[in-house]
Amino acid sequence: MTEVLLDVHALSVRFQLGRRGRRGVVRAVSAAGFELRAGAVLALVGESGCGKSVLAAALLGLLPANAEVRGRATMDGLELLGAQEKTLAERVRGRMIGLVPQSAASHLTPVRTARAQLVETVRALRQDVADAPAFADDLATRVGLDPATLRLYPHQLSGGTAQRVALSLALAGDPRVLLADEPTVGLDRPLVEHVVDTLADLSTQDKAVLMITHDLAAARRVATHVAVMYASRLVEFGPAGAVLADPWHPYTGALLDALPDGRFRPIPGDPPELTALPDGCAFCQRCPAMPGYPPCTGEATMRRFGDRFVAAHPPAAIPEYGPLC
């Protein structure tokens, strides 16, 4: 088996609203656990507002000040959640984990050219590179960008080009994990495919990609593994082919049913509020509309069956390996 790059264990994030949570507590991520192995493209999917982006922000120490975390996230022997800001800035961000942000154009400085920002990033992250401008051109070429377009300012870039500039920025520090937060939102279908294909190409032998998206079609195209998140919890995790072809959790099934090339059926009702989550299975209110699944055990945590994990809906025919964690 390949090397585990990022090991996330029982990661929870909550936000206190008002002083000391007087106006409620938002449980954005509850006891999420997964591992990211070299060569994998892990797609973290779920409806908007389920806590996907918060999970990503927690890994990079980019949560707002009213957030609280617990659990573990280790990479290269380094505990990310408890790390000092100095460690995160000097060792993690850009060097161990590269971030490809949502709506890339707004993450670029409007008054400087793409090249100026890329060269600056290279200089900051790679003291070993002597010729930063040449290295920048090289990075651009790797993500399928004509180096000539780098002389443009961010507002002159189209959405897809800006996304690729952001991708090259994320690659500058040669990180082993690329974290892409909704990299395809607002892009055309051909551009979406181009961006996710480029991302997938970057997960080589010793690298991995964690792609956060609500675009199941994009996930299906490139992901090797899929993690499905619902109302702050992971409900299903496993190899992409198996999970998407034969979902065990009714929520995964419902997401697939909602696709235009599926049955194009909306999931009835709304997800629960993250301030008032039930203790057990949170999908039960919407579950009865999804026939054909084994009955819900009401258990919130995922259990392991072979190489797949699922919460609350254990498959009848497959022996359980024991709980996750």
Partner 1 sequence: MLSAEGIVVGYRKGVPVLDGVDLHITPGETVGLAGPSGCGKSTLAKVLCLLLRPWKGRLRMDGEVITGFRHDAPAALRTRVGVVFQQPRLAVDPRLTLREIVAEPLLANGFPASGVIGLANRVGLTGELLERRPHEVSDGQLQRACLARALALRPRYLVCDEMTAMVDASSTAGLVRVVREQASDLETGVLAISHDDALLDVWADRVERLG
Partner 2 sequence: MADLVGAWHSAARSRAGTPRGRHIGGRARLRGLLGVGGLLVLIAAAVLLPSLGELDQSKVNYGTRLLAPSTAHPFGTDANGADLLLRSFAGLRVSLLVAALCAAISTVLGSLFGAISGALGGWPDRLLMRLVDTVNAVPHLLLGIVIVALFRGNLWAVVASIALTHWTTVARIVRAEVLSLRERPFIDAAISGGSSRARILRRHLLPAIVGQAAISAVLLLPHAVWHETALSFLGLGLPPHLASIGNILTEARRAVLLGSWWVVVFPSVLLVLTTLATSGLAAGWRDRLVPRRRSELAL
Binding site for partner 2 (CB under 8 A): 9-10, 12-15, 26, 28, 31, 49, 51, 53-54, 58, 61, 63-72, 82, 85, 88-89, 274, 301, 323, 325
Q: Which residues, in sequence order, are CB contacts of 59 under 8 Å at separation 6+?
A: 6, 8, 73, 80, 97, 179
The item of partner 1, partner 2, none sharing an interface with residue 67, based on CB under 5 to 8 Å by kind, is partner 2
For partner 1, give the closer residue by CB, 85 or 261: 261
Q: C-alpha distances in angstroms, 284 versus 130, 246, 295? A: 58, 20, 10
HEC readout, 225-293: EEEEEECCEEEEEEEHHHHHHCCCCHHHHHHHHCCCCCCCCCCCCCCCCCCCCCCCCCCCCCHHHCCCC
Residues lying near partner 1 in the complex (CB under 8 A): 47-49, 158-159, 185-191, 214-217, 254-255, 258-261, 264-267, 270
Tokens read off for 233: 């919890």
The item of partner 2, partner 1, none sharing an interface with residue 236, based on CB under 5 to 8 Å by kind, is none
The item of partner 1, partner 2, none sharing an interface with residue 65, based on CB under 5 to 8 Å by kind, is partner 2
Rounded to 5 degrees, φ, ψ at 58 are -65, -40
The item of partner 2, partner 1, none sharing an interface with residue 24, based on CB under 5 to 8 Å by kind, is none
- b/e code 230-267 from CB counts within 10 Å (16+ = b): bbbbbbbbbbbeebbeebbbbbbbbbbbeeeeeeeeeb
Kindly state the smallest distance separating residue 105's Cβ from partner 1, in Å: 12
For residue 304, the cross-strand partners are: 309, 322
For partner 2, give the closer residue by CB, 34 or 135: 34
Kindly state the smallest distance separating residue 58's Cβ from partner 1, in Å: 20
What is the rounded distance in angstroms from the CA atom of residue 104 to the CA atom of residue 111? 15
Kindly state the smallest distance separating residue 123's Cβ from partner 2, in Å: 16
The item of partner 2, partner 1, none sharing an interface with residue 70, based on CB under 5 to 8 Å by kind, is partner 2
The item of partner 1, partner 2, none sharing an interface with residue 51, based on CB under 5 to 8 Å by kind, is partner 2
Kindly state the smallest distance separating residue 70's Cβ from partner 2, in Å: 5
Kindly state the smallest distance separating residue 264's Cβ from partner 1, in Å: 5
With 0-12 CB in 10 A as exposed, 13-18 as middle and 19+ as buried, what is 72? middle
For partner 1, give the closer residue by CB, 260 or 295: 260
